[in-house]
Structure 1
Amino acid sequence: MERLSCFNTPDAPMELPPGFRFHPTDEELITHYLSPKVLDSRFSAEAIADVDLNKVEPWDLPWKAKMGEKEWYFFCLRDRKYPTGLRTNRATDAGYWKATGKDKEIYRARMLVGMKKTLVFYRGRAPRGEKTNWVMHEYRLEGKHSMQNLQKTAKNEWVICRVFKKISGGKKVHISGLMRRLCC
């Protein structure tokens, strides 16, 4: 059987079967990846990299990912805007991630397990930022396995982020297309 080789580190290829795609459902992201990460920060997944999203611009994220062609997944610690506050810092050097719409509840067997927040990247500073086509879905634990119920400090709040770039019609840009449309 042939194997597809993806590089998740400069010198260690990841062996995958032909046609392999990583497309977990919202519920799978919460229960199989985020929950274990919250319970043990040393947990790692073959397909999900750890990244500080406040230090990386969205157009650089595909190259920080372990895998992905049209969407990329990352574990990230939510950064607080103020040390004693609850507001999340979502700014980078070039812009900021702005929440849009209402958070979506994620259930497993009729039990609330997490929430999904949609964010869009804006270049510049609020309130005059310029909207881009970069989109992020941020997944966090909620319900009986939420951070409050796990007795963790608010500073140690892991989330999973799914990042992609939209083109007209709501479709996602393939990684090869990013070379042509690098950062706009």
Structure 2
Amino acid sequence: MENISVLSNREEGQINSPPGYRFHPRDEELLTYFLYKKTNIAEFSAKEIAEVDIQKFEPWDLPWEAKMGDDEWYFFCLRNRKYQNGFRTNRATEAGYWKSTGRDGEILREKSLIGKKKTLVFYMGRPPTGAKTNWVMHEYRLGGNLSVHNSPTPAENEWVICRVFETISRGKRTHISDIKRLDGSSPVPPSPPVVPDYLPETNGP
């Protein structure tokens, strides 16, 4: 299926990366530095990662909700349960739905399980006749030694990190400068660059 152009009604809030700075954390860093702290420290916030409700946005609108990113965008999200007493997650939007592919990947630190990564693809329409698009999401959640169930004060809802991107030919990712609105106009004008106060740490929580 051809790439879907962006229809955006928001033109504020995005922070473009300053020259030379790229936010490309490893899977382990996303879990140990960002997600673990988000889950266990009430006042923790990250300049690089915005909080959104994934189900309230179509994937082509999400880049404009992110704080920064050129060809991939990161978000803190609360997993939205499909059933009140169940474990299945609601992944539907107004235009379509996210469908998981394959088994969840395990993320290890020093040979110990610390979390899992689920890969999902966005489909237009409703199952089972949805049309596959080029939008992909990696959903990271804590597990093993870092599981929220091992926390002394487990959260009622589980935080996850979602990494969203769109692929083009030969597996390459769409750069934000190539994303256009449906009316053919240019992307959102860049905001003044913000230099981060820190770089991701790798020594765990």
Distance in 1 separating the partners of 2:165 and 2:63: 9
Distance in 1 separating the partners of 2:72 and 2:165: 5
Amino acid at match of 2:56: K
Q: Give 1:53's aligned residue.
A: 54
Retained in 1: the 8 A contact 2:14–2:65? Answer: no
Q: Give 1:141's aligned residue.
A: 142
Distance in 1 separating the partners of 2:171 and 2:112: 30
User: Residues 55 and 11 (structure 1 numbering): CA distance in 2 closer, same or farther, change over 3 Å?
Assistant: closer
TM-score in terms of structure 1 length: 0.87
3-state DSSP class of the match of 2:56?
Answer: coil
The structure whose RCO (Cα within 8 Å, separation 6+) is larger is: 2
Q: Give 2:198's aligned residue.
A: none
Q: What's the CA shift for 1:18?
A: 2.6
Q: Give 2:77's aligned residue.
A: 76
Indicate the RMSD between aligned Cα atoms, in angstroms.
2.1
User: Residues 12 and 112 (structure 1 numbering): CA distance in 2 closer, same or farther, change over 3 Å?
Assistant: closer
3-state DSSP class of the match of 1:22?
Answer: coil
Q: Percent identity?
A: 62
Distance in 2 separating the partners of 1:91 and 1:42: 30
For 1:65-98, what per-residue CA distance to the aligned partner results, in whole angstroms no more than 9, with x for missing partners?
0000100000000000011111111111111000
For 1:4-44, what per-residue CA distance to the aligned partner results, in whole angstroms no more than 9, with x for missing partners?
xxxxx948968x65310000000000001000001124421
Q: Give 2:91's aligned residue.
A: 90
Q: Following superposition of structure 1 onto structure 2, how do residues 1-184 of structure 1 map, counting pairs within 5 Å? A: 10=12, 18-150=19-151, 152-153=154-155, 155-179=156-180
Q: Give 1:6's aligned residue.
A: none
TM-score in terms of structure 2 length: 0.78
Q: What's the CA shift for 1:147?
A: 2.0
Q: How many residues align?
A: 172
Unaligned 5+ runs, structure 1: 1-8
Distance in 2 separating the partners of 1:17 and 1:88: 36
3-state DSSP class of the match of 2:179?
Answer: helix
Unaligned 5+ runs, structure 2: 1-10, 184-205
Higher strand share: 1
Runs of 4+ residues deviating >3 angstroms: 9-14
Distance in 1 separating the partners of 2:167 and 2:15: 29
